[in-house]
Amino acid sequence: MSTTSAQPENLMEAIVSLAKRRGFVFQSSEIYGGLNGFFDYGPLGVELKKNIRDCWWNDMVRRRDDVVGIETSIIMHPKVWQASGHVAGFTDPLVDCKVSKQRYRADQLYFAAVVVEGNTIGYVSVLESERTQEELQEAADKLKRKKAVQGQLAPIVGKDMTEAKPEEIALIPSPATGEPGSLTPPRAFNMMFETYVGALRDESAVSYLRPETAQGMFVDFKNVVDTGRVKLPFGIAQIGKSFRNEITPRNYIFRSREFEQMEMEYFIHEDADWKAAHDGWIEWCRQWLLSIGLPESHLSLYAHPKEKLAFYSKGTVDIMFKYPFGVQELWGIAARGNYDLTQHATASGVPQMFFDEPTKKKFTPHVIEPAVGVDRIFLAVLCSAYAEEEVADEKGNKEKRTVLRLSPRIAPLKMAVFPLLKNKPELVARAEALYKKLKRKYAVFYDETGAIGKRYRRQDEIGTPWCVTIDFETIEKDGSFTLRERDSMQQKRVTEADLFALLDEQIY
Ligand code: GAP
């Protein structure tokens, strides 16, 4: 068999379509028209997501001696969010269009003055994309033609709306209407979802859905120290839902309003070499992403510039992923000093100290925080695994196959079991017996309908690494099966013991 493999130009469209068709991701409340920024995970999606979570939990918590896990409540005391700074400062800059009622994140709305021979003839605006600069240029050319102005257009300097001078705001056109005059100056919009706890609906009952899981680890720090027999350095990890009322949720599940985070707070001695600990965790996170199959070529690091860091932050590095819509943050690794514990100690009046036996010192530990979104990993995995191939069989007949090259560690189904023919009871009985045995330990699938080639294709499309076929040789000769590998499409004969050994080695 020969193959040519490629990713389609409209990769996101292909992924969204496959995810819906095969039950990975659905729009939330679809029958009511959907709800922007919310998604559901279907039968295969939920398995893939669970596998991502389980791999992280096993590697981050169970297989380490220095990290413990917790699960804290989604709604916490409102004072938590005052102390953490979220009530005052968890905001994105928002711009309204008073005519269309559209809302934009100011740092995603770009504008430029259109200058011809030293005269500003107007302004153009576009929403941030992979082509922001080109689109601004095109819009400027169009404005110049529309106004029939002769002369040389000055180079276009794109800025985002947070950089607009007050006198420029009224001159910048709204992307919705194309006309100036309707955009408001940027204002801080708090992204926390508010709710009320208890029967009263007044200010005293206001609470928040957590916008990050991290505060749970800080608030429970003392409980873990008092009960967990931990010694520095040690980490507290948590997986759970977080909620942010994003102004512009976009790029499918990349930026949504309800998402899942996997965060770990790694507490270190106040005198420890924080840079070494930070670097160590950046590399750990990178290696972990490679271990679940993300290609190294798609990963890069971005160090936040010093002047953009919060005052308490010693440094933040993001692991970036090359998504089809651009290189974007996947995993943030922040060195946060002892800011969070100090804030909670001050606000609650309960000291958040650690007595370090070896140094006989009592102090507030510093923290390194790797924080990642499950949904973003899920999307990165789909984006890098998806391929469309033209395959030719031995007779030279060509056909298209869609394949998800998922790592066996996270593939929703690990193996599919087929009897060669469904009308041969002895084949079916043997296949069913094997299926039941495999199913006790692994997520496997049984399929007896259609030609074998078709059954392979159905599994390729959902990323099942192996298919095993029970044929006449199984029954009449040595009991061996045909094992077919997804990526190479190679087949070989194996025993039942070989199958279990393969799964045991590859799925961990
Ligand atoms: N405790 C630190 C913290 O929450 P963050 O950079 O705001 O830091 C951490 O979020 C990670 O959570 C991000 O790197 C991203 O993977 C994920 N994330 C954040 N906002 C998200 C959203 N609206 N939708 C999906 N994932 C999101």
Per-residue pLDDT, 144: 96
How high is the pLDDT of residue 384? 97
Give the SS3 label for residue 317: strand
Atom of ligand 1 nearest to the CA of 332: 14
pLDDT, residue 484, reads 98
Quick count: other Cβ atoms within 10 Å of Cβ 488?
Answer: 9
User: Collapsing DSSP states into helix, strand and coil, what is residue 297?
Assistant: helix
pTM: 0.94
Residue 329 near ligand 1, beta carbon < 6 Å: yes
**Tokens for 375?**
């949904």
CA distance 161 to 265: 34
DSSP type of residue 131: T
CA 216 – ligand 1 centroid, Å: 15
CA-nearest residue, atom 11 of ligand 1: 372
SS (H, E, C) 198-234: CCCCCHHHEEEECCCCHHHHHHCHHHHHHHHCCCCCE
Residue 478, classed as helix, strand or coil, is: helix
Question: How much is the pLDDT for 395?
Answer: 79
User: In whole angstroms, how large is the CA radius of gyration of the chain?
Assistant: 27
Q: Which two tokens stand for residue 11?
A: 């990769």
Amino acid present at 329:
E
**Distance in Å, CA 329 to ligand 1 centroid:** 9
Report how far residue 445's alpha carbon sits from residue 413's, in angstroms, rounded to the nearest whole number: 7
Show pLDDT as tens, one digit a residue, over the chain (508 residues): 557 788 999 999 999 999 999 999 999 999 999 999 999 999 999 999 999 999 999 999 999 999 999 999 999 999 999 999 999 999 999 999 999 999 999 999 999 999 999 999 999 999 998 889 999 999 999 999 999 999 999 999 999 999 999 999 999 999 999 999 999 999 999 999 999 999 999 999 999 999 999 999 999 999 999 997 899 999 999 999 999 999 999 899 999 999 999 999 999 999 999 999 999 999 999 999 999 999 999 999 999 999 989 889 999 999 999 999 999 999 999 999 999 999 999 999 999 999 999 899 999 999 999 999 999 999 999 999 999 999 887 678 888 999 999 999 999 999 999 999 999 999 999 999 999 999 999 999 999 999 999 999 999 999 999 999 999 999 999 899 999 999 999 999 999 999 999 999 999 9
Residues 6+ apart with CB under 8 A from 93: 105, 106, 107, 161, 162, 186, 187, 188, 189
Element (H, E) at 301: strand 299-303
- Alpha-helix runs per DSSP H in 292-424: 339-348, 374-385
Q: How many CA atoms lie within 13 A of 237 on its CB side?
A: 23
CA distance linking residue 71 with residue 49, whole number of Å: 18
For residue 3, CA distances in Å to 79, 310, 398 come to: 60, 51, 9
Residue having the nearest C-alpha atom to atom 19 of ligand 1 = 373
Q: How far is the CA of 374 from the centre of ligand 1 (A)?
A: 9
Residue whose CA is at the smallest distance from ligand 1 atom 20: 255
Name the packing angle between helices 274-291 and 43-57 (round to 10°): 140
**In testing the pocket of ligand 1, which one of 376, 377, 379, 381 has its CB within 8 Å of the most ligand atoms?**
376
The finding on whether 246 has its CB within 6 A of some atom of ligand 1 is yes
Beta strand 2-6 with 386-392 is: antiparallel
Provide long-range contacts, Cβ within 8 A and 24+ apart, for 355-358.
356/231, 356/232, 356/269, 357/231
Q: Which residues contact 387 (CB under 8 A, 6 or more apart)?
A: 5, 6, 7, 402, 403, 404, 405
What are the helix and strand counts (H, E) for the chain?
15, 27
User: Ligand 1 atom closest to Cα of 246?
Assistant: 23
Centroid of ligand 1 to alpha carbon of 442 (angstroms): 31
Per DSSP, the three-state class of 463 is coil
Which of 329, 367, 381 has the most ligand 1 atoms within 8 A of CB, as the residue to mutate? 329
Strands 67-69 and 234-243: parallel
Give the model's pLDDT for residue 396. 80
Q: Quote the ligand 1 centre to 49 CA distance (angstroms).
A: 16
Strands of 144-270, DSSP E: 159-160, 187-190, 194-196, 206-208, 234-243, 258-268
Give yes or no for a contact between 419 and 428, defined as CB atoms under 8 angstroms apart.
Answer: yes
Residue count of the chain, please give it: 508
Burial class from Cβ neighbours inside 10 Å (0-12, 13-18, 19+) for residue 43 reads exposed
Tokens 């297989």 label which residue?
Answer: 63
- 214 CB less than 6 Å from ligand 1? yes
Nearest CA to ligand 1 atom 17: 373
**SS3 state at 291:** helix
DSSP 8-state code for residue 154: P
In 3-state terms, the chain is what percent helix, strand and coil (to 5)? Answer: 35, 30, 35
Distance (angstroms) between ligand 1 centre and the Cα of 373 equals: 6
| Short-list 370, 75, 90, 89, CA closest to 245 | 90
Pull the structure tokens for residue 70: 């917790």
CB burial string 110-140: b at 16+ within 10 A, e below: bbbbbbbeeeebbbbbbebeeebeebbbebb
pLDDT in tens, 144-153: 999 999 999 9
Distance between CA atoms of residues 450 and 469, nearest Å: 13
Predicted pLDDT of residue 5: 80
Which residue's CA is the closest to the ligand 1 atom numbered 8?
371
pLDDT recorded at residue 32 = 98
Alpha carbon of 247 to ligand 1 centroid (Å): 14
Pocket test for ligand 1, best of 38, 193, 212 (most atoms within 8 A of CB): 212
Q: What is the largest CA-CA distance in the chain?
A: 88
DSSP-derived 3-state class of residue 156:
coil
